[in-house]
């Protein structure tokens, strides 16, 4: 257990999928298949488990757009680009390897990850479980409160000498947004979100919106209009319908049916299967790392056959390449269709890729890996549907 109460880690799956993909570029296996997102995702998730030592953990995936949002604003996220082909082929292996790491893999059909995460947060807090959410999705920040924090490894958040990560609570989120977390939805109702194709009040950005909220107390007070500055009142009245619509758009669903109970998310790595999956993918350094870890946890795992000498190292332009494959998934899953995804190139801002830079230069997992993308575990493998993710609410890596 973690301290006074058990801890639940909830990971925004598509956010880290894109984040990993754009943090490491040009990595392929001996067949020339892209493997950069697989490597980055697995390393990121393993780091979270090490940093946080949660009792329960789940990767939550987007699985479509809620009808209530598309009815309110039919253009919601319609401008987003399709997922890049060389990322799409890595999604299934990632989703298959997640449960082998001891982390549940969960989605709810026709719902976005942030709504399902919010519903799990509410349930967990009712049960006295601490929640840590790994995401950069601005909508989720409204859920920060006592016992709920955001996992960040961004240099701007972490600073120096803090173990490489920081849990953002009410003070940190308030400092970044200018309002308390519970009022972030009010700010977003005024500003809209161009990344999601949600228009805001013309000429009103985050700083102005936060100023209004602090000055007048809440969005409700602003909409009532009593005591507003004439110029503020004019802007609000001209965009009242849009503001009301935006408020409904950014409101998170807090009572969705939970596909998997929290107590079914106990962290329990499947070491033999994980080692075999990594070995099958010619992922030498990470395989060795996991074998050492497994031997410490379960000595019998150390009796697995040593890594085959058939693993291939490929060197191209002096850079050795690495990759890995996922295996058997758990939880509710189904085939992943190709759909539209965010314009990540515009929205991704990687300011901290120190972990992967270290690894590429001979850190814990040196770049001497081959790899493969063929799933090779049990016959009941399945993957999570991948509709448009809100995942690219991007920030710094790892």
Same domain, 14 and 114: yes
Q: What is the CATH number of the domain that holds 208?
A: 1.10.150.20
Same domain, 48 and 91: yes
In the predicted model, what is the mean pLDDT of the chain?
78
Residue after which a domain boundary falls, among 250, 283, 302 = 250
Note whether residue 398 is domain-resident: no
Contact 190, 180 (CB under 8 A): no
| Angle (CA) 378 384 387, round 5° | 155
Higher pLDDT, 180 or 298: 180
| Helices (H), ranges, 225-353 | 230-238, 240-250, 271-280, 284-297, 344-347
What single-letter DSSP state applies at residue 307?
Answer: P
Alpha-carbon dihedral sign for residues 29, 32, 35, 36: positive
Note whether residue 284 is domain-resident: no
Note whether residue 384 is domain-resident: no
Residue ranges making up the domain that contains 215: 181-250
pLDDT of residue 236: 96
Note whether residue 372 is domain-resident: no
Q: CA-to-CA distance for 105 and 390, rounded, in angstroms?
A: 17
Render pLDDT for 172-219 as a digit per residue (tens, 0 to 9): 999 999 999 999 999 999 999 988 889 999 999 999 999 999 999 999
Higher pLDDT, 295 or 329: 295
Q: CA-to-CA distance for 132 and 139, rounded, in angstroms?
A: 15
Stretch 39-52: mean pLDDT: 94
User: pLDDT band for position 299 (50/70/90)?
Assistant: low
Q: CA-to-CA distance for 112 and 388, rounded, in angstroms?
A: 9
Note whether residue 296 is domain-resident: no
Q: CA-to-CA distance for 208 and 210, rounded, in angstroms?
A: 5
| Whether residue 374 has pLDDT greater than 50 | no
Render pLDDT for 266-277 as a digit per residue (tens, 0 to 9): 999 999 999 887
Same domain, 54 and 160: yes
Same domain, 189 and 261: no
The distance from CA 42 to its chain's CA centroid, rounded to whole angstroms, is 12
| Whether residue 330 has pLDDT greater than 50 | no
Note whether residue 166 is domain-resident: yes
In the block, tokens 């110029």 appear at 231
Render pLDDT for 58-106 as a digit per residue (tens, 0 to 9): 999 999 999 999 999 998 888 778 899 999 999 998 999 999 999 999 9
Higher pLDDT, 163 or 264: 264
Note whether residue 129 is domain-resident: yes
Same domain, 195 and 56: no
Beta-carbon contacts of residue 256 (< 8 Å; ≥ 6 apart) = 108, 111, 115, 116, 119
Same domain, 152 and 51: yes
Same domain, 45 and 140: yes
Q: CA-to-CA distance for 342 and 204, rounded, in angstroms?
A: 23
Same domain, 143 and 219: no
| Whether residue 336 has pLDDT greater than 70 | no
% of the chain residues with pLDDT over 90: 57
pLDDT of residue 329: 33
User: pLDDT band for position 39 (50/70/90)?
Assistant: confident
pLDDT of residue 315: 29
pLDDT of residue 369: 56
Stretch 40-57: mean pLDDT: 95
Contact 329, 98 (CB under 8 A): yes
Q: CA-to-CA distance for 352 and 162, rounded, in angstroms?
A: 15
Q: What is the CATH number of the domain that holds 87?
A: 3.40.50.1010
| Whether residue 370 has pLDDT greater than 80 | no
pLDDT of residue 349: 35
By three-state DSSP, how is residue 148 classified? strand
% of the chain residues with pLDDT over 70: 73
Contact 356, 23 (CB under 8 A): yes
Same domain, 191 and 125: no
Stretch 393-398: mean pLDDT: 33
| Angle (CA) 222 227 228, round 5° | 50
Stretch 122-149: mean pLDDT: 96
The DSSP bridge pattern shows strands 319-320 and 315-316 to be antiparallel
Note whether residue 386 is domain-resident: no
Same domain, 207 and 323: no
Most confident of 251-265, 291-305, 355-369: 251-265
Same domain, 39 and 118: yes
Q: CA-to-CA distance for 357 and 284, rounded, in angstroms?
A: 18
Higher pLDDT, 304 or 11: 11
Same domain, 245 and 190: yes
Stretch 34-56: mean pLDDT: 93
Alpha-carbon dihedral sign for residues 112, 117, 123, 125: negative
Domain count along the chain: 2
- How crowded is residue 71: how many other Cβ atoms within 10 Å of its Cβ? 10
| Whether residue 351 has pLDDT greater than 70 | no
């Amino acid at each position: 257990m973690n301290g006074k109460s058990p801890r639940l880690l909830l990971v925004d799956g598509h956010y880290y999928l894109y984040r990993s993909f754009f943090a490491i570029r040009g990595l392929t296996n001996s067949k020339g298949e892209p493997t950069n997102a697989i490597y980055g995702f697995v390393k990121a998730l393993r780091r979270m488990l090490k940093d946080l030592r949660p009792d329960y953990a789940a990767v939550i995936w987007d699985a479509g757009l809620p009808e209530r949002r598309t009815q309110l604003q039919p253009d919601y996220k319609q401008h987003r680009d399709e997922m890049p082909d060389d990322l799409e082929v890595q999604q299934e292996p990632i989703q298959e390897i997640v449960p082998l790491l001891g982390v549940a893999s969960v989605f709810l059909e026709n719902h976005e990850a942030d709504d399902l995460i919010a519903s799990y947060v509410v349930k967990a807090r009712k049960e006295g479980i601490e929640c840590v959410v790994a995401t950069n999705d601005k909508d989720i920040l409204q859920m920060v409160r006592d016992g709920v924090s955001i996992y960040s490894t961004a240099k701007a958040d972490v600073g120096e000498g803090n173990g490489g990560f920081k849990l953002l609570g009410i003070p940190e989120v308030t400092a970044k947004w200018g309002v308390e977390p519970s009022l972030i939805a009010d700010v977003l109702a005024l500003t809209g979100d161009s990344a999601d194709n949600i228009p805001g009040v013309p000429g009103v950005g985050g700083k102005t919106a936060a100023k209004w909220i602090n000055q007048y107390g809440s969005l409700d007070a602003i909409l009532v209009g009593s005591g507003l500055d004439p110029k503020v009142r004019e802007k609000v009245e001209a965009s009242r319908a849009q503001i009301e619509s935006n408020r409904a758009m950014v409101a998170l669903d807090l009572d969705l049916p939970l596909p998997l109970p929290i107590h079914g998310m106990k962290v329990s790595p499947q070491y033999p299967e994980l080692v075999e999956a990594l070995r099958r993918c010619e992922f030498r350094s990470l395989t060795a790392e996991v074998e050492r870890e497994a031997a410490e946890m379960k000595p019998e795992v150390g009796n697995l056959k040593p890594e085959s000498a058939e693993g291939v190292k490929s060197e191209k332009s002096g850079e050795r390449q690495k990759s890995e494959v996922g295996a058997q998934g758990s939880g509710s899953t189904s085939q992943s269709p190709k759909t539209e995804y965010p314009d990540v190139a515009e929205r991704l801002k990687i300011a901290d890729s120190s972990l992967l830079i270290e690894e590429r230069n001979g850190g814990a997992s040196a770049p001497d890996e081959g790899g493969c993308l063929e799933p090779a575990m049990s016959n009941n493998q399945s993957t999570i549907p991948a509709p448009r993710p809100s995942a690219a609410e991007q920030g710094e890596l790892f």
